[in-house]
Each structure stands twice: as C-alpha cells, then as structure tokens.
Amino acid sequence: MKRIKAVYPGSFDPPTNGHLDLIERGSKIFDELVVAVLRNLDKAPLFSVAERRNMLEAMTSGFDNVSVETFDGLTVEYAMTVGASAVLRGIRAISDYEYELQMALMNRKLQPSLETVFMMPAEKYSYISSRLVREVAQLGGNIDCLVPELVAQKLREKMDPALKFVDVERLERKASERKSRSRKKKS
Amino acid sequence: MKRIKAVYPGSFDPPTNGHLDLIERGSKIFDELVVAVLRNLDKAPLFSVAERRNMLEAMTSGFDNVSVETFDGLTVEYAMTVGASAVLRGIRAISDYEYELQMALMNRKLQPSLETVFMMPAEKYSYISSRLVREVAQLGGNIDCLVPELVAQKLREKMDPALKFVDVERLERKASERKSRSRKKKS
Amino acid sequence: MKRIKAVYPGSFDPPTNGHLDLIERGSKIFDELVVAVLRNLDKAPLFSVAERRNMLEAMTSGFDNVSVETFDGLTVEYAMTVGASAVLRGIRAISDYEYELQMALMNRKLQPSLETVFMMPAEKYSYISSRLVREVAQLGGNIDCLVPELVAQKLREKMDPALKFVDVERLERKASERKSRSRKKKS
Amino acid sequence: MKRIKAVYPGSFDPPTNGHLDLIERGSKIFDELVVAVLRNLDKAPLFSVAERRNMLEAMTSGFDNVSVETFDGLTVEYAMTVGASAVLRGIRAISDYEYELQMALMNRKLQPSLETVFMMPAEKYSYISSRLVREVAQLGGNIDCLVPELVAQKLREKMDPALKFVDVERLERKASERKSRSRKKKS
Amino acid sequence: MKRIKAVYPGSFDPPTNGHLDLIERGSKIFDELVVAVLRNLDKAPLFSVAERRNMLEAMTSGFDNVSVETFDGLTVEYAMTVGASAVLRGIRAISDYEYELQMALMNRKLQPSLETVFMMPAEKYSYISSRLVREVAQLGGNIDCLVPELVAQKLREKMDPALKFVDVERLERKASERKSRSRKKKS
Amino acid sequence: MKRIKAVYPGSFDPPTNGHLDLIERGSKIFDELVVAVLRNLDKAPLFSVAERRNMLEAMTSGFDNVSVETFDGLTVEYAMTVGASAVLRGIRAISDYEYELQMALMNRKLQPSLETVFMMPAEKYSYISSRLVREVAQLGGNIDCLVPELVAQKLREKMDPALKFVDVERLERKASERKSRSRKKKS
C-alpha cells in the first residue's frame, strides 16, 4: 500500500473559504497534504508570509493529515524535496482554466514523475478568489461569507481608514511626479 | 493510513493511448483503480462491452492495482457499491472541459461524499478521442499511434471492406424510404 | 414610462429548478414575461407540449406578470407577434455560452429591433440542464433537488420499470436488423 | 519561389456568405485554392453533392485560382493526392474552436508535412453556419443576408410546404411505432 | 407597473462606440439607465473622471432616460443608493466572459436583490475595448471608427508628440535607476 | 503567380522553441517571412531588442526565406511598409485565443487588405510562452527543452546570483518606503 503525499501550493493572500473547501477535499484523497505558501519576493502582498501561514494553520488545525509550510523557487522542486508525488490544484467552473493546464504541463516537463491533480471546490465558492476578496475588503464590502471568520477579522484590521489616506497620498505623489517630468520636458 | 479506491468510468469504444496514459497516472495516485466500462444499452457501439473489457484487461495487465469491471446505471451509485471514494476523469487541454465540470457537479449533488479527481493525459494524446479514432479507422487512416497495438488490430478487423457496403445499403434504403414517404404524401 | 414585455423561450422538457429561478429573476426586471414552450415536431420529447405547459403553469402560478404559452417557428417571429421587445435567455457559468451568443446574433439579424437579454440562474443550478435531469431520472437517480416537486413526481411516473424493457427491445431489434443486413450483404 | 496549393474542405450544405468570404481571403494568400466538398455517405444532406458543387462553382467563378472538387475519405489523403501543402479552415470568433484545433492536430499526426492554416471570416458572418441557415430556412425565416442569392433561391425551392407534411408524418409514424412496441411489451 | 432603473458601471477611459451601442440598447429595455463612471484612485487614467463624464454626457444627450454619474466604492452599494434594481453589463463574443460572470456572482453575493443583466453590443464592435483604443491611439493609428467623433478629437489632443518624450525619459530614468542599484550591490 | 510575404510580429523576450517551430512552418507556406521584433519602449524587457534580434538571426540562419527585423508603432503599418500581405500568428491549444482574435479583428479594421493567418506550433510546445520561460529561469529551473541552446545560455548569463540580491534590495526599499509613508501619515 502506498503513502501518497500531495502539495497544495499557492499565495493564499488571504486564504479563502474556497481554499479551505479544497483542503478538506484533498485531505480525504491523499494520505498527507502540505499546504505550501509561496514566498514571492517580487510582489507586495497584503499579508506577510508569516501571517498567511498562521491563518492557514488555525484554519486547518482540525485536519490530522494537513500541515502548512512555506517555500520559494519552483513548486516542482519543493514538491520533490518533501517527497510529494502529487500537486493539488483547484479547478473552478469560472476561472483561469487554461492557465492551470499550462502550469501543469510546464511542471510535468520540469518534473515528469510529479502529477498534478485537479479537484473542484463547492460551486458556491466558484467565484471567490483572493484578489476579489482583497478588492471587496478594500472597498469596505462585507467579506463574511467569503473567508473564514479569523481571516475576516484580520482583513478588517488591515483595512483601517488610515490605509485610504496612503492611496490618496500615493496618487498625489504620482501626479506631482508627472507634473515635474512634464516641466523638465518643456524646459 | 487510508486506502483510497478510485473508479475510472467511460465507454472506451475503443480504449485509446490517452486512456492508457491516464490509467497509468491514476494507478500511481490511488491505492486501487477500477476501470469501469459503461454498459450503455441505448447506443450502437463499435465494440461489444465484452470486447472492450478484454482489450482493457490486456492493456492493463502490467498494473498490479488496476482492475477492469463493467457497470450500468449511475456512475456514483456504482462507485459507492464498490467502496470507491473518488471518480477519476481525464481533462484534456482541447476538450469537453465544461461538460466534465457539469458532470462532476451533478455527481457531487447525487453523492456528496464522492470526489471527482481530474488528471491530464500527456499532451501528445490531447487530441485523441474514441470518436476520432473510430472515424479515422472507418476512413482507412492509420491509427497505429492512437491506440495500443492490440486495439489497432481489432479495429482493422472491424473495418473490413464489407462494412462499406453496409453503409451504401443503408443510404439506399433511407433514400427509398424517403421516396416512398414522398409518394404517400402526394397521393 | 415603457411597458417591457419579454419572451423566455425553450423546450422545458422538463422544466427545472434552474428555469424556475430564471423566471423569478426575469419577472422582477420585465413588466411582463411570457414563458414560451417550443412545439418542435422533429424531436421525440419525454413530455408532451401540453404536459410541459401544465407543469410550467403550476410552477409559475405565484407570479402575477408571468404567463405560459406555446409556439412553433422562429422565436423572433413569435416574439414580434406577441409584442415583446426582448428575449430572455439564461447564461450559466458552465454552459453552451457560444451557442447562446450565436443564436442571439442570428436573432438580431432576423429581427434587429428585438434584444436578447441574458441573466444568470443561481450558481447552485449552474450544472442543471433538462437533458441531464432526463438522464439521471432514466438511470433511477434522485432528482428531488433538481426539479420542482410536481415535476419530480411526473418524472417518476414516466420512468416506470416498463420503460427499461423497451430499451432492451429496441436494442435487440437493432441487433437483428444489423444481422439481417449483414446476411444480405454476404448473399 | 514556391507554388502553394491549399485545400478548403467542408460539407457546404449549403455554402454560406461566410464560406464565400473565406474563399476570397484564401485566394489572396495561396497560389491555388481547391474548395473540396466532402461526399459523406452516412448523413442525409439537404443538398446533393452535385448541387453543392454547382452552387460553389457558380459562387467562385470570379476567382481565377479557385476550383471546386469533391472527395471522400480522409481530408489529409485527399490533400496529398492533389499536391496541396496546406488545409485552409475558417476560425470564427463564436465557434467550435476546440474542435478545429483537435482536427488540426489529428491531421498533423496523420500527415505531418501538411499544415493547417486558419483564417477569420468577416465578423459580420461570425454567427453563420450551414446548420443555422438550414434551420432558419426550414422555419420560413429570411435567409437573404446569410447566403448568396443563388443559394437562397435553391433553399426556397427545397423548403416547399410539402416538406412540413413529411415531418408530421414521420412524427406520427414514430408515435405509432412506440405504441406498438409498448403493446408488445405488455403482451 | 414597475419602474426599472439600471446602472451601467465602467471606467470608460475612453468611452467607445461599443459602449454607446450598449447604452442605446439598454435605454430601450430599462425605464431609466445611469451610466456610472468609476472613480478609481489607484490607476493612472488617460482621461480624468470629469473628462470622461463630459464625453459620455455629450454622447448620450439624445437619450431621454439616460444620465451620467460618477461613483467610487462597490458597484452594488452605489446601485442600491440610487435605487437601481439591475446592473447592465456588455457581453461580447470575444471577451472576458468568465470575468464578467465571476463579478456578477460576487455582486449577487454582496447584494442578492440586485440582478446583473447582460446585453450584446453589435458584432462589429465585438473587438473594441478602451484599452485597445488607447493602444492604437498611442501608436498613431486611426481610431475614427472605434470611438465617437468627439472622443476621437480628445484622443488626438492627448496624443501629441510631447507624450512620446515622456516615455523615453521614463525608460532612461528606469535604466539609470537599475544601474545605480546594480552599482550599490557591487560596492 | 503571386509572391506572398508575411510578417511574424512579437516581443520574443526571449524567443522559444515554440517560436522557432512556428517560423519553420510559416517558411513553408509563405514565399518570404519577416520575423519582426517589436521595439516596445514602455516595458522593461529581459533582453534588449538587439539581443533578441541576434538570437533570432542565429536561430533562423538555416531558412533561406526568413529574415529578422525590428519595428515600432502599429503592426499593420509596419506590414504595409514592407509590402507584406499577411500577418502570421501562432494559435495554441492552451492560450490567449480570444486575445488573438480580438487583435486580428482590430488589425483588419485598421488595414482591411492585410490578412491574419493562424498556424499551430507542435503540441509539445503548446504550454511554452516567453513569460513562463522567464519565470522558470528566474527560479533556477531547467529551461533546456523550452528554448534553443543559444537562448538557454544567454538566459543563464542573465540569471546570475547577483540578480537575486537586487530583488531583496528592492523589497527592503519598498518596505522602508511604506514605513516612512506610514510615519508621515501619523505625524
């Protein structure tokens, strides 16, 4: 009998109800499931990697065979390092289907022995993405049905009124930069 | 540790290299994989259910944890009967993607505890379907790279020249039926 | 102020919870909504046009501005006849999206003054189609969550065990036809 | 300098304005373009192969480098026989895109030296297909903007009122067959 | 009889012939249509919100039941504030279809009583987007058939040669920044 | 007999095996093929235009009728300048299909006499894009099967360890900027 370990990689910025639903489904199919948070240096995330890891650990504490880790570099190399034989990805009815297949084929080329396995979250989560959750939260919308309660609370903390000022500031800074460039050009 | 059994249902009329590729991938992820040939009374198949089962058994004899069965009725009920916790489906880059998701959601509604798991065949098989194989064979094309050797041989036997006469006969019969109906109408 | 009348055309064989959901949504947007059952002579339907009309009338009796009619011929001509200025169509996340747009463009060419308006059923109905409902019912599956109770009851009546014998009979008849054709060919 | 010959295969039942548009575009790219009508014995076409060939010849008489032929069997084998190095296919914004790619990959497998080249018809023809034209004509709709005048005339001839009686007859025949089967079953 | 008010939200940077076509169609279906320009602080738009509002007001002055407003925050909250019961969205044959459905489902979750209604612009506008119009204008292409005359004029004013210098300047600045960072790194 | 010249435009940052495959296919269909590297001032490319041109020239030196050029501005204007009658574009099974059609329609509007011709790269290259190649290279993955050897070597030179420090630096700089903005805000 085999012991199948799978990696569920992602940014999880923030983790959503759709992620949690998929983790539960994956935990029933695989002997061991590692939720792997990508440390992406390039982007300016809303939550730090540590915050995301903590939220995911709290959300998945009820699943015996689920652990949370962080990684950087290629997903396939991380998966080989931890001895996984599968990568779990969610595939939503409304979604970046073609991007998922493209990634899966690229990962297969990079590491032929590693299989990508797709599962579907509940259809009620088919429209939820971390990006949409961030946008709704930033505009003051109610995100209670989109993310677990602990994530909703963290999101509300991040979205304090002060943040809006920053945006205005940035906009004004941009505008003044543009004007100064424009002046230089004319002179 | 869990023992995960999956069902890979289909018509397999005939089984193709794409099916074989997916069976091999599934056999690595699941502890036990049942290739389940649908006994569909409604359609006029090219190969009988027994022929398809025999071909699949020969093709999969090298996999210890793969067996071949036949079933009718709902896939989800068959899966529950044999104690499976997953249904395996191939998802091809070029394919009936939306139909697959629709079936998966319907199956989940009918049997919430059963998960549909999607895997991708090798991209070199992405355009192969049983229907296309039948069409190419019927037109005398070379199907050696599309199906295992034993299936290719069986296909060539089915496609003897006599078959073409049948089609002409059927066409003529249809034409004469139409004429006779047309005559009735006028009289 | 305008009085906007819309036609919601379809086969409704049988009407589903997805249809009912869309009718409710349409009744809120339009002043008057005509559910129009297509009398399609070509196909062999499961329910007669009269049965479908009766079921739809029972299902929509609670909506003041919804009526049920039957029609044949072109949808656009029927819509003009009853003075409608819009055709309502459901557009599902998982569905024949391109076919819907193709029909809408053709209808616009045939009748430029008539607009096609798309609305989305609840996502929990995104996978339900009349065809899938018929298939599940024919295989003895539970269709209670897929159609209104009165439709479920009618479906169960249609699906009495006798029906299965018919299929076997038909199959046997087909098989014997094939054999007799094959004999003719050889002689 | 090369002399590139291309085959534009199809059923053309009937040829449409979209087909004509693509033929014109192809005639500008290729040195020689063969419009190839598939002789498909299996289906019951609306127009005979000879009728379709005649209509296409009349429609394309103004193009010096376009000819019309008929063929059966595999498209790739026909293309090799006539010395073509490309197969021309239309690719519409709203259409069976994936089917086209699947066929192109299968044809490449069967004959690697033959390239499939896709061109787009004018967007005003993006929703026109032979099937839709047949359906609109059968329901008495105006097909003047969908097909060349000579095809429109031929379609009107085919669609004489007598045809409708046939359909009713067929339906009644089907119904009586069903009843007789049902009676047999009970006896 | 109901009075149905709809909101047509967007960036309209700039408004195109496709937008105008949809506004005309929407004005025939709804009793009142509010074209709502999103004030998005984050992005650096080509036209200011005031400019976009002015252009839209000039373009829609001929429609009695169309008004132009600006808003920020969530679309659904703005729609509720103005008493709308529907959100109008264009759905193009070639377009971000899945994104539209995802937004519609998210909006329904945030405000279940608000319906998203999709209509199709004329197929001749199916490829026009504000982004493409901006790109063509920036490269000096002819945008006369893509936007109303007044928008074309405003675009030509924005695209004076001076703008190109800015880009070169920005590029050079970026390059020098990179070099200076690279130097720091080495030192 | 015609002399058909085609332009194959793109960023080619870097050129991949998929690009090379398409160039080879295009060289068989057209009398002359110009690979045209877009000089895009706006973006910060990985390779300079000169580097990309050099790599493409080395890759295509074996094709007699292929040349490499650079251009800026509208593709259709460049194509007219060099006397081309077609634009060649790759169309992949998994890809930005709709974007390609949208561009083709826009280009047709801008220059009706110019045809866009789509060809398919080998399916084994269906998932390769310049962007994915850059990402894999940046993460230290093996890109030997994705690009020609000479491109792989150039990529490895670009990806020296020093680059990673830059990213960390940039991140730290961003973080400190954010803090200082935050402090300003509070003060």
| Furthest C-alpha separation in chain C | 77
Residue B91 is predicted with a pLDDT of 86
CB atoms within 10 A of CB D176: 10
* pLDDT over 80 (residue E97): no
Six-digit token string for B172: 């003529």
pLDDT at D1: 60
pLDDT reading at A100 higher than 80 = yes
The H-or-E segment that residue D90 falls in is strand D86-90
Model confidence pLDDT, tens digit, residues D4-43: 999 999 999 999 999 999 999 999 999 999 999 999 766 7
State both tokens at B167: 């089609």
3 state DSSP class of F5: strand
pLDDT exceeds cutoff 60 at F111: yes
Chain B positions in Cβ-Cβ contact with residue D166 (cut-off 8 Å): 181-182, 185
- Between the CA of residue B91 and those of A109, B109, C98, what are the distances in Å? 17, 20, 20
Residues A52 and A64: beta-carbon distance below 8 Å: no
Rounded Cα distance, D101 and F97, in Å: 11
Place of tokens 């079933």: B71
Average pLDDT over chain A, rounded to an integer: 84
Report the alpha-carbon distance of residue B84 to residue B76 in Å, rounded.
9
Give the DSSP per-residue string, B11-58. Answer: --SS--HHHHHHHHHHHHHSSEEEEEEE--SSS--SS-HHHHHHHHHH
| Distance in angstroms (rounded) separating the CA atoms of residues D117 and F86 | 12
Q: What distance in Å separates the CA atoms of residue D72 and residue C171, rounded to the nearest whole number?
A: 30
Q: Is A158 exposed, middle or buried (CB count within 10 Å of its CB: 0-12, 13-18, 19+)?
A: middle
Select from F21, F123, F125, F127 the residue whose CB has the most chain B CBs within 10 Å, as the one to mutate to test that interface: F123
Q: Chain F partners of D97 at a C-beta cutoff of 8 Å?
A: 97
pLDDT of residue F170: 44
Q: Say yes or no to pLDDT of D115 above 90.
A: yes
At C95 the pLDDT is 57
Name the minimum distance, in Å, from the CA of F99 to any CA of chain D.
10
Q: Which residues of chain C have pLDDT under 50?
A: 163-187
Which of A144-158, E82-96, E159-173, F107-121 is predicted with the least confidence, judged by mean pLDDT? Answer: E159-173
- Alpha carbon D86 to its chain centroid, in Å, reads 18
The answer to whether the CB of D110 falls within 8 A of the CB of B141 is: yes
| Per-residue pLDDT at D161 | 57
d(CA F40, CA B46): 56
- pLDDT for residue E27: 97
Residues C12, C31: Cα–Cα separation, whole Å: 22
Let me know if E183 is a catalytic residue: no
Is the pLDDT confidence value at F157 over 80? yes
Q: Which sign does the torsion angle of CA C8, C14, C19, C20 carry?
A: positive
- Using CB atoms, which residue from B94, B123, B127 is nearest to F124? B123
Residue B3: CB atoms within 10 A of its CB come to 12
CA angle D111–D112–D114, rounded 5-degree value = 75
Structure letter (DSSP) for residue D125: G
Structure-token match 């030296």, residue found: D113
Q: Return the bridge partners of A88, or none.
A: A117
3-state helix, strand, coil in chain D (%, to 5): 50, 15, 35
* Cβ(E62)–Cβ(E173) below 8 Å: no
Chain B residues with CB under 8 Å of A111 CB are none
Phi-psi region of C140 (alpha: psi -120 to 50; beta: other; left: phi over 0): left
Q: Which of B154, F27, B132 is nearest to D109 (CA)?
A: B132
pLDDT (0 to 100) of residue E1: 60
For tokens 């379907």, the residue is B129
Whether D175 has a pLDDT exceeding 60, the answer reads no
Bigger pLDDT: A43 vs A134: A134
Q: Which two tokens stand for residue D125?
A: 């023809």
CA A15 remoteness from chain centre = 6
**Residue D38 region by backbone torsions, left for phi larger than 0, else alpha for psi between -120 and 50, else beta:** beta
* Binary contact (D41, B171; C-beta < 8 A): yes
pLDDT at E160 over 70: no
Residues in chain F within 8 Å Cβ distance of D4: 4, 29-30
Residue F123: per-residue pLDDT: 84
Chains that touch A (3 or more CB pairs under 8 A): B, C, E, F
Residue B97 has what pLDDT?
Answer: 72
pLDDT above 70 (res A94): no
Residue E27, Cβ neighbours under 10 Å: how many? 22
**What is the 8-class DSSP label of residue E120?**
P
pLDDT greater than 80 at residue A1: no
Residues with Cβ within 8 Å of residue A125, at least 6 apart in sequence: A16, A17, A18, A21, A92
Most confident of C40-44, D101-105, E58-62, E141-145: E58-62
User: What is the predicted pLDDT for the residue at E53?
Assistant: 98
Read off the pLDDT band of F99 (50, 70, 90).
Answer: confident
Mention every residue, 6+ apart, whose C-beta is less than 8 A from residue C33. Answer: C5, C6, C7, C8, C23, C26, C27, C63, C65, C66, C67, C88
Interatomic CA distance for residues B103 and B89, integer angstroms: 10
Q: Is the pLDDT of residue F187 over 70?
A: no
Does residue A25 carry a catalytic annotation?
no
Mean pLDDT of chain D: 85
Q: Which residues of E are less than 8 Å from C79 in CB distance?
A: none
Predicted confidence (pLDDT) at residue D152 exceeds the cutoff of 90: yes
For the record, the structure tokens of B37 come out as 């040939």
Total Cβ atoms within 10 A of residue F84: 25
Cβ pair D123, E126 in contact under 8 A: yes
Structural tokens at position E181: 């960072």
| Rounded Cα gap, residues E129 and E14, in angstroms | 9
Over range D108-120, report the average pLDDT. Answer: 92
A98 vs F95, F139, F140: nearest CB: F95
CB < 8 Å to D44, chain B: 174, 178
Size of interface D-E (CB pairs under 8 A): 14
Please tell me the predicted confidence (pLDDT) of residue F58: 98
- Residue B94: per-residue pLDDT: 58
Could you tell me the pLDDT band of residue F183, with boundaries at 50, 70 and 90? very low
pLDDT at A43 over 90: no
pLDDT band of E41, cuts 50, 70, 90: low
| E127 closest CB neighbour out of F74, F77, F106 | F106
Cα–Cα distance list, D62 to A95, D85, D125, D144 (Å): 47, 24, 21, 21
- Partner residue facing F132 (CB), from A42, A106, A165: A106
* CA proximity to E158, closest of E43, E52, E18, E35: E52
Convert the pLDDT of each residue in B142-174 to its tens digit.
Answer: 999 999 999 999 999 988 655 444 344 444 444
- Helix (H), strand (E) at residue F6: strand F5-10
Q: Which chains touch C (3 or more CB pairs under 8 A)?
A: A, B, D, E
Phi, psi of C103 (to 5 degrees): -60, -40
What percent of chain B shows pLDDT beyond 70?
Answer: 81
Burial of B165 per CB tally in 10 Å (0-12, 13-18, 19+)? middle
Please state, in angstroms and rounded to a whole number, the distance separating the CA atoms of residues E14 and E48: 10
Question: Could you give the CA distance from residue D15 to residue C159 in angstroms, rounded to a whole number?
Answer: 43
Across E57-166, the runs of DSSP E, i.e. the strands, are 66-71, 86-90, 115-119
Residue D95 is predicted with a pLDDT of 57
- Determine, for residues B123 and A104 on separate chains, whether the beta-carbon distance falls below 8 Å: no
* pLDDT tens-digit series, residues F21-78: 999 999 999 999 999 999 976 678 999 999 999 999 999 999 999 999 999 999 999 9
Q: Is the pLDDT assigned to residue B175 strictly greater than 80?
A: no
SS3 B88: strand
Residue pair F35/E165 in contact by the 8 Å Cβ criterion: no
- Answer whether B13's CB lies under 8 Å from B52's CB: yes
> Which domains, ranges and CATH numbers included, belong to chain E?
5-183 (3.40.50.620)
Classify residue F120 by its DSSP letter: P
Chain D: residue whose CA lies nearest to B95: D98
Q: Which of D86, D101, D123 sits opposite F93 (nearest CB)?
A: D101
Identify the three-state secondary structure at position C166.
helix
More confident residue, C61 or E159: C61
Residue F92 a catalytic site member: yes
pLDDT for position E94: 58
Chain A residues close to C124, C-beta within 8 Å: 123-124
What is the residue-averaged pLDDT of chain B?
A: 85
pLDDT tens-place string over residues A106-131: 889 899 999 999 999 998 888 899 99
Q: What is the pTM of this model?
A: 0.83
With an 8 Å Cβ cutoff, the interface of chain C facing chain D consists of: 41-42, 44, 73-74, 76-77, 98, 101-102, 105-106, 109-110, 162, 165-166, 169-170
Q: How confident is the model at residue E123 (pLDDT cuts 50, 70, 90)?
A: confident
Identify the pLDDT of residue D174: 46
Strands A5-10 and B32-38 turn out to be unpaired
Of the candidates A106, A164, A119, the one whose C-alpha atom is nearest the C-alpha of residue A139 is A164
The pLDDT assigned to A127 comes to 85
Is there a catalytic annotation at residue A130?
A: yes
Cβ contact E185–F170 (<8 Å): no
| CA distance to partner chain F, nearest, from residue A115 (Å) | 16
